[in-house]
């Protein structure tokens, strides 16, 4: 196993909110649509790094919450298109 360095297990959204208030590196989540929805609903996401694949699927898990909440505005801060059609888009959450 690779050396992950100091590791903290966060068991609640309150734990994530408390960690965000400290100095340190960004908190990064890879995958986990359910965790993303929970963090988004709690207003704990500052930036999205999204890879868009040129493929439409008829079913699957939602990335964004289906809850009844106000519109969330995003600001595109970085983008790149790759030869295979995949696009990388980085958005800051506008508050």
Residue 67 has pLDDT above 80, yes or no: no
Report the C-alpha dihedral over residues 62, 59, 78, 4, rounded to 10 degrees.
60
Q: Band of the pLDDT at 14, cuts 50, 70, 90?
A: very high
Fold of 13-93: Dihydrofolate Reductase, subunit A (3.40.430)
Burial class (CB within 10 angstroms; exposed 0-12, middle 13-18, buried 19+) of 27: middle
pLDDT digits (tens, 9 = 90+) for 20-36: 999 888 888 887 888 88
In eight-state DSSP terms, residue 9 is: -
Residue 9, pLDDT score: 82
Measured CA to CA, the distance from residue 95 to residue 40 in angstroms comes to 13
Is the pTM for the entire model greater than 0.75?
yes
Report the C-alpha dihedral over residues 42, 45, 48, 53, rounded to 10 degrees.
-30
pLDDT digits (tens, 9 = 90+) for 44-58: 999 999 999 999 888
**Per-domain boundaries in the chain:** 13-93
């Amino acid at each position: 196993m690779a050396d992950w360095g100091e590791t903290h297990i966060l068991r609640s959204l309150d734990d994530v909110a408390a960690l965000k208030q400290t100095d340190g590196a960004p908190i990064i989540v890879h995958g986990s649509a359910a965790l993303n929805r929970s963090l988004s609903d709690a207003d704990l996401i500052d930036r999205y790094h999204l890879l868009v694949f040129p493929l439409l699927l008829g079913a699957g898990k939602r990335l964004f919450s289906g809850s009844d909440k106000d519109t969330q505005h995003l600001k595109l801060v970085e983008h790149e298109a790759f030869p295979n059609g995949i696009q990388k888009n980085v958005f800051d959450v506008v508050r």
